[in-house]
Amino acid sequence: MNAKLSKVLTKDDTSFIEDIFKETVEQLKEKLLGSVLKRLEILEGTVFEQKSDIEFLKTEIPSKDTQIEKLKIEIHATVNEKNKESNKYEEIANTAEQNSRTNNLRMTGVPGDQDRKSLIAVTAQVVSFVNRYLNIPINESNIDIAHRLGKFKQGKQTCNYQIRSPTEC
């Protein structure tokens, strides 16, 4: 039993026990500190990369602003161009509609026709003629345009009148 008791620590062995605790605590501290330092280095690297990314992006802002302004100008110019084209096509469509044969009425021998007569005067003359002789009630707003076809020849005039469709009259 003496041999077994010789391996047991006593009060006098406190310095030995303290040394064991110190070594154990020191080893744990080094492991913990090592892992914390690794994590800290990783975080520092990430922060540095993010700072450099932020600085790069800050330098890119003026060039991107310039690109945005150029694109805005380009879009504005394109919209204006498309609006002009749209207006042109609307005008062409309007002209085609006004001159289409489906709404035209050709009359010859309208009394009182003269050379160089205005569109307003021709329109008023046609309204009067249709109301009086054809007994159809219309007014000037029912006629889109009225004009003579061909050169003026006394006694042989052909007038072309564009009348609105009956649903519009």
* Contact status, residue 162 vs residue 143, Cβ threshold 8 Å: yes
The confidence score (pLDDT) of residue 1 equals 52
How far apart CA 94 and CA 117 sit, in angstroms, is 24
Cβ-contact 99, 160 below 8 angstroms: no
Which two tokens mark 44? 């520092």
pLDDT of residue 169: 44
Amino acid at residue number 87: N
Q: For residue 10, how many C-alpha atoms fall within 13 Å in the half-sphere facing its CB?
A: 5
Angle at 151 between CA 145 and CA 156, to 5 degrees: 90
Identify the pLDDT of residue 121: 83
Q: What sign results for the dihedral spanned by CA atoms 147, 149, 154, 156?
A: negative
Per-residue pLDDT of the chain (169 residues; tens, 9 = 90+): 556 656 665 666 677 778 888 899 888 888 888 888 899 999 999 999 999 999 999 999 999 999 999 999 999 999 999 999 999 999 888 887 766 666 677 776 666 666 677 778 888 888 888 888 888 888 888 887 777 766 766 666 556 555 654 444 4
pLDDT of residue 168: 47
* CB-CB contact of 123 with 146 (8 Å): yes
